[in-house]
Structure 1
Amino acid sequence: MHVVTGGAGFVGSNLARSLIAQGADDVLIVDDLRDGHKFRNIADLPILDYMDRAEFLQRVETDAAFVQSMSAILHQGACSTTTEWDGKYMMENNYSYSKTLLHRCLEFGVPLIYASSAAVYGDATEFTESPGNERPLNVYGYSKLLFDQYVRRLSLTDQQQVVGLRYFNVYGPREQHKGAMASVAYHFNQQLKDDHEVRLFEGCDGYDDGEQQRDFVYVDDISALNLWFLQHRNVSGVFNAGTGRAQSFNDVAKAVIKWHGRGRIRYVAFPEHLKGAYQSYTQADLTALRAAGCDVEFRDVAHGVRDYLDALAT
C-alpha cells in the first residue's frame, strides 16, 4: 500500500495521480477534508481508500500490521501557510506528526519520503543543504527545518530510507483550493482572465519591479522526483527540489500573457505585512541531488507555464 498524506492537496494529489499512472492500484489518501473543496483534486483518481489524518495517525501508533502493509509513505501533509504565526499549531502539524510517522517507518523498514521546503533558507543567498544557509523567516520554515535537523541526526540501516525534499516554488494543476497560497502562475492566469492584466509587486530588496526571482518548479517534475527516490531505496538524505534556475516574476507573467495572446503587466505596491518575511531570491543548488544519481529533468518557466495552462484548458 502506497500512502500519500496530504493526498487531497496540491502536490499530494498530483503525486497520487502519478503513482496510479505508473500502475499503483493501492494508493491510500490521507488528508483533512474540513475544506471539502479539495475533494475535486482526487475525484478522478481510482484510489484504494481515504482516511482522515487523525485516524491515520492513531492507526500508525497502535496497529503494527497496518504499518507493515505499507510499501512507502509519501508524506506531503502539512500546514503550508507561510503567513500562519500560530507556532503551537504549526509544530503539532508539521513537526510532531512527522516525527511519529518517522519512528514507525524506521521501526518497520517503511520508506518515508517527505516534503520539506525552501522556506528553510529564508533570506539566504546560497541554497546548498548546509546549516549555514538555513535561516527561516517564518514559523512554517522553522517547522520544516527542525524536522530536517531531526532526520539528519539519524543513523540509518540499509533497510531504512528517509528522504526530505526541499520544494522550491511549485506550481501546476490541482492547486486552486489553496486560495492566496496558490502559485503566482495560478493567480496571474486568473487576473488576466478577469481583468485583462497581471499584477506584480513593485521592486524590493534592491530588485526592480517584478524582478524578484524564485526557482519555479512544475508539479509534474516534483512528482517524478518523488517517484525516483521511491525506485532508489538505497538513497537517503535531505535534498533540494527545484530547477536549479532562478527566474523572475516577470518571466512568469510574460509566459501567461504569451499563452493567452493578450494582457498587460501592472505593478502594485509591495505589501507592508510581507516586508522582512519575504524571499526575494531562491535558486536550488542541485549538486547533492545530482551526486546522489538523480537524473530527473526540470522544465523552465516558459515550458512549465505552457503545460500548466494547457492542462487548465482541457
Structure 2
Amino acid sequence: MIIVTGGAGFIGSNIVKGLNDRGRDDILVVDNLTNMVKFKNIQGLKVMDYMDKMDFSEALKAGKFVHENVEVIFHEGACSDTMEYNGKYMMQNNFEYTKNLMHFAVDRKIQMIYASSASTYGSGTNGFREEPACEEALNVYAFSKLFFDNYARRYFGKTNSQLVGLRYFNVYGPQENHKGKMASMVFQMYNQWLAEKKVKLFDAYGDYGAGEQTRDFIYVKDVVKVNFFFWDHPEISGVFNCGTGHAHTFNTLAQGVLKHFGSGELEYVPFPEVLKGKYQSYTQADAKNLLAAGYDGGFTDVNEAVAEYCAILDKSGGYYTHGA
C-alpha cells in the first residue's frame, strides 16, 4: 500500500495520477475535504481508499496501521496558506502531524518523502542552498516547515529507512483550482484573460522593472518526477531543493498565456504598499545537491509547460480527465 497525504490536493493528486500511470492503484488518499471542490482532483483517478486527515491521525496514534504493509508515504498534506497567522494551528498541522507520521515511518522502516518549502529561505538574500546559513522564516508557515526540516535533520543517516524533504519552489500546473488566491500565476493570468481579455502584473519595484520579478517556476509534472526519483532510490535521505535551477520573469509567463489566446493586453499595476518589504523579487533553486544525488529527469521548458497547462485549462478547466 502507498499512502498519499494531501492526496486530493494539488501536488498530492498529481502524485496519485503519476502512481496510476505506473500501474499502481493500491493507494490510500488522506485529506480534508472541508473545501469540497478538491473532490474533483481525485474523481478521475484510481485509488484503494480515502480517509479523513483527522481520522487518519487518530488511527495512526492508536496503532491501527501497525500491521498494514505500507511501502512508501508521500506526505503532501499541510496548511499551505502563507497568510495564516494562527501559529498553534500551523504547528499542529505542519509540524506535530508530520513528526508523528515520520516516527511511524521510521519505526516501521517505511520510505517517507515529505513536502518542505522554498519559503524556508525567507528573503533569499543569503542564497537558496539547503543549509542553515541560507535559511530564515518570514511567516509562521515557513517557520513550521523549517522547524520540521531541522527536526528531521537529526535523523538523517541514523535510521534504517529513507527520509527525504523536498523544498518546492513555485509549482504550477493542473489540479490547483481549489487553491484560489494561492494558485499559481499561470492559473491566475489565464482566468484574468477570460474575465478581462488582459493580464495584469506588478509594476517596477526595487531593482526590478515592470513584470521583471523572477521565480523558479517548476511544472507539477516535474515535481512528481523528482518525488519518484527518490522513491526509486531509497538509499538517499536529506533535504533537497525541488526547483529547476533557473529563474524566469513573470513577463515570460504572461507572454506565454497571451500567446495561447492569440490576443490581449499586458497591463502593469502599482506595486501594493502592503507587500513592500515582504515580497520575494527573486527565487532560484540551487539544484546542485539534487543533481549530485543523481536526478537526471530534466525539467519541462517553461514555454512548453505553460502552453500545455493552458490547453488543459481549455479542455477540462484544469482537471485531469479519465485516460488523460
Q: Same fold (TM over 0.5)?
A: yes
Give per-residue Cα distances to partners, 1:261-312, cap 9 Å, x unaligned.
1111111122233222221110011100111111121123211101111222
Look up the match of 2:227: 226
Percent identity between matched residues is 48
Q: Residue in 1 aligned with 2:301?
A: 300
> 1:135-174, aligned counterparts within 5 Å?
135-157=136-158, 159-174=160-175
Which position in structure 1 is the counterpart of 2:270?
A: 269
Q: List per-residue Cα deviations over 1:249-270 (Å, max 9, x = no partner).
A: 1111001111111111111122
Query: After alignment, is 254-263 or 293-302 more displaced?
Result: 293-302
Cα displacement (A) at 1:60: 1.5
Q: How do 1:1-314 and structure 2 match up within 5 A?
A: 1-63=1-63, 65-66=65-66, 68-125=68-125, 126-157=127-158, 159-314=160-315
Distance 1:237 1:147 in 2: 12
Work out whether residues 218 and 299 of structure 1, in 8 Å CA contact, stay in contact via their aligned partners in 2.
Answer: yes
Asked whether the 8 Å contact 1:138–1:277 carries over to 2, the reply is: no
Q: Distance in 2 between matches of 1:2 and 1:205?
A: 46
Gaps of 5+ in 1: none
Distance in 2 of aligned mates of 1:247 and 1:177: 25
Alignment-mate amino acid for residue 50 of structure 1: Y
| 8 Å CA contact retained: 2:256, 2:303 | yes
Please give the secondary structure, in 1, of the residue aligned with 2:128: coil
CA deviation map 1:170-228 (0-9, x unaligned): 00000011000000000000001110100101122321111110000000100111111
Deviations 1:76-124 (A, max 9, x none): 0000011111111111111111000001110000111000000001112
Aligned-pair CA distance for 1:67: 6.2
1:138-184, CA deviations, whole angstroms, 9 ceiling, x for partnerless residues? 11111111111111111535631000000000000000110000000
State the TM-score, normalizing by the size of structure 1.
0.97
Runs (4 or more) in structure 1 with deviation over 3 Å come to 64-68, 155-158
In 2, distance between residues paired with 1:206 and 1:102?
42
Which 5+ residue runs of structure 2 have no aligned equivalent? 316-324
The separation in 1 between residues aligned to 2:66 and 2:36, in whole angstroms, is 27
Instruction: Count residues in correspondence.
Output: 314
Q: Does the 8 A contact of 1:8 with 1:41 survive in 2? A: yes
Aligned to 1:81, what secondary structure does the other structure show? coil
Offset, 1:137: 1.6
Aligned-residue offset at 1:68? 4.1
**Distance in 1 separating the partners of 2:255 and 2:298:** 23
One-letter identity of the residue aligned with 2:244: T
Q: Distance in 1 between matches of 2:246 and 2:43?
A: 34
Cα contact 1:243–1:300 (8 A) shared by 2? no
Report if aligned partners of 2:59, 2:65 keep a CA contact under 8 Å in 1: no
SS in 2 for 1:240: strand
What is the CA–CA distance in structure 2 between the aligned matches of 1:96 and 1:169, rounded to whole Å?
25
Question: Over aligned residues, Cα RMSD in angstroms?
Answer: 1.3
Please tell me the residue identity of whatever aligns with 1:63: G
